[in-house]
Amino acid sequence: MLQSARSAPDQKQAMEAAFTRATGLLDRDPAAALAEARAMLQMAPADPVVRLIEAQAMRRSGDAAGALSRLDRLVAEEPRMFGALWELAQTAAETGDSARAVAALETLTRQQPAIATGWFLLAAQLRRLDRAEEAWRADLSGVHASARDPELLKVAAAMNVGRLDDAAAMAKARRHRIPEDPVAVRLAGEIAWRQGDLSAALDTVETALVMAPGFDLARDFMVRLLLQMNRLEEAMAHVEVLARSPVAHPGHDLLRASVLVRLGDHGEAKAIYERLLELKPDHPQVWQNLGHVLKTMGQQDDAIAAYRRSVTHRPAMGEAWWSLANLKTVHLDKSDIAAMEAALATLDPAVEDQKEDLFHLHFALGKALEDAGEYAESFRHYDKGNRLRRTMILHDADDFTTEVAATARAFDAAFLGALEPGGCPAPDPIFIVGLPRSGSTLVEQILASHSQIEGTMELPEMMMIAGRLQSRIDDGEFPDFATMIASLSPDDRARLGEEYIDRTRVHRQTDKPLFIDKMPNNWQHTGLIRMILPNARIIDARRHPLSCCLSGWKQHFARGQTFSYDLDDIGRYYRDYVALMAAYDAADPGAVHRVIYEDMVHDTEAEIRRLLDYLGLKFEQSCVDFHTNRRAVRTASSEQVRQPIYTQGLSQWKNYEPWLAPLKSALGSVADRYPAVP
């Protein structure tokens, strides 16, 4: 190892012992390490390894300038000594000599492109020199190099097979050993996300981006996390950064389109999809996404054509088939049914990434066979799709019933009567609550046709506020829901109400004074809404329980609604909903306005007048002519509300009556007494 010592065994042993001591002392006692190095240099003054240890010890002892002069000479003599180049780069970076650090790192990365840390340090130093695009490319090269790191590959493999605790432990050990490793940090963020800790995931990925701002994959993941948290403006800011990446990627455009859709800018999203399809016309996912946007914009014929192009390029594209069926006004014919059955035969339920195509195809076949009047076979496919989907989600009906009962007890008449005035006084929001498929989109379309009301979409903000309050109970800050709610002061309630108004402003695109939040699940938070937004209006859209529940069970929802994939679950959910709304009616009479779907269908104008009276608005004929409103509609009823009201759907549940015993049993007297409450 040390050429000058090879002729003398004793000297060689002494050198090796000193070498071991010096390297062991570098981090904990650099002065002692420096002494050992200089003792070795007495025996082997030209040995490059010992000279490197001396320079390392000098830097760690605070003599960076001296270390630099030695490293310059060493690198000049040993230009392929990678440790010396790395030490020179680190020392130069510490002293602020970014130009010298960049020169060393450029040499190092040319010779050793698989060393990711070299690329990341090079990127940081290039940024100090305002060489932004080169820095970005260096970060990307570092990420590329990390893709071959055996340790990181082990972490990713454990994560991908669901061994999340093992993956987290390995990632933590890696970060402890190499703190400035953005790829390991991003992996830790994804592990946290898969473990359900969205906040920790976001913080961790943000840390990775501070380390490597040019880490495009981490920024892409950041956007997706922000979308989950409905932080749309922040998501768009990161999308704008990705658009400046020196390495163009169509995925960045797709991500931009996703954010634009969430922001309600469907026209710009449509333009992006069309531009991508000009470049690659056989991309089934982009055709499907374009179909979604066209459907939302009311361009039904074009949406149908887009979905059909998607399944032409990928016949087993289950979501595209379901999207066709889900237009409600489209009837899939015998050739479509044959194509879907052939696609089903190519899929394996045991393969995880084929399950989504499978259940979507079952739902689509259920709808196609329902339209054909083959109800037994239709039910069989709906049942298979629901059973498969139920295995992929979590819903505990018993726990949910317990939570609903606790909410009803918390917001009783005594509590509401003793409540001090407070909350945000803004009258802007109109909440439409209830179950999905209850006629809520019809109510929304009617109201959004009024000159004073803007339709937005199903907004998650109230559920996010409620979830944050619930976490205070889960974390042990409060023993139960009632105690937590009672702890909110008038100022607390005002802040929460103002937060809701602020966070929903991004969805408002007009200057109309009122807007609609059509998140159906907000029925669970009626009491909270009354506390923090006392001047908001709440409309409960209700439909016959057998019609509503069966329609929900036949519907695959893009997200949420985990109760809807089992007839017993959905029946119990409807029963809980009726019970809680009845409790609110008793505790705060008149606070909630109820729209019975069947009444709206049979006597539309009278029900609309009654609804507008509750809102304190004048009657407008445009509300009766709601089907002429071309606003974007994002729910499953998007095409139905672009037609006049029809009565055919009122008793469709009877086609499936032979198989509805579990639903009837779960509903109990709620079905028998409708629209009255048991």
For 419-475, the DSSP string reads PPS-S-----EEEEEE-TTSSHHHHHHHHHTSTTEEEEE---HHHHHHHHHHHHHHT
What are the structure tokens assigned to 646, written together? 């029809």
- For residue 613, being part of any structural domain is answered with yes
Using DSSP's 3-state secondary structure scheme, residue 81 falls into coil
What H or E segment, with its residue span, contains residue 592?
strand 592-596
State residue 633's pLDDT score: 53
Evaluate whether 144 touches 217 at the Cβ level (below 8 Å): no
Instruction: Tell me, yes or no, whether 522 lies in a domain.
Output: yes
DSSP, collapsed to helix, strand or coil, labels residue 562 as helix
Q: What is the pLDDT of residue 2?
A: 41
Helix (H) or strand (E) holding 453: strand 453-457
Asked whether residue 446 is domain-assigned, the answer is yes
Domain that holds residue 307: 252-259+266-314
Contacts 24+ apart (CB under 8 A), 176-179: 178/117
For residue 100, what are the CA distances in angstroms to 70, 88, 96, 212, 221? Answer: 14, 8, 9, 21, 34
CB 356 within 8 Å of CB 363: no
278: CATH: 1.25.40.10
Q: Which residues is 592 bridged to in the sheet?
A: 538
Tell me if 471 is assigned to some domain: yes
DSSP β-bridge partners for residue 434: 541
What's the pLDDT score for residue 4?
44
The end-to-end CA distance of the chain, in Å, is 89
Rg over alpha carbons for the chain, rounded to the nearest Å, is 32
Domain membership flag for residue 592: yes
460 and 600 both lie in a single domain = yes
Q: How many structural domains does the chain have?
A: 2
Per-residue model confidence (pLDDT) at position 61? 86
Find tokens 């015993």 and name the residue.
661
Question: Considering only CA atoms, which of 620, 629, 606, 631 is closest in space to residue 451?
Answer: 620
| Burial (CB count within 10 angstroms: exposed 0-12, middle 13-18, buried 19+), residue 404 | buried
| DSSP helix/strand/coil, 511 | coil
CATH of residue 530: 3.40.50.300
Q: Does 659 map to a domain? A: yes
User: Cα 371 to the chain's mean position, in Å?
Assistant: 34
AA identity, residue 591: A
Q: Which residue do the tokens 């270390």 mark?
A: 67
> Is residue 280 situated within a structural domain?
yes
Are 198 and 225 in contact by the 8 Å Cβ rule? The answer is yes
Question: Do 430 and 310 belong to one domain?
Answer: no
> Residue 210 domain-assigned?
no
Under 8 Å between Cβ of 325 and 364: yes
For the chain (length 678 residues), average pLDDT per consecutive 10?
A: 48 73 80 81 83 85 87 86 87 90 92 92 95 97 94 94 93 92 96 91 96 97 93 94 93 95 92 95 96 92 96 96 90 95 94 93 97 96 96 94 95 92 96 94 94 92 93 91 94 97 92 96 96 97 96 90 96 97 95 95 94 97 84 49 59 92 96 90
3 CB-side CA count, 13 A: 5
Q: CA dist 112 to 109, 136, 140, Å?
A: 5, 19, 15
CA torsion 418-422-424-428 (nearest 10°) is 40
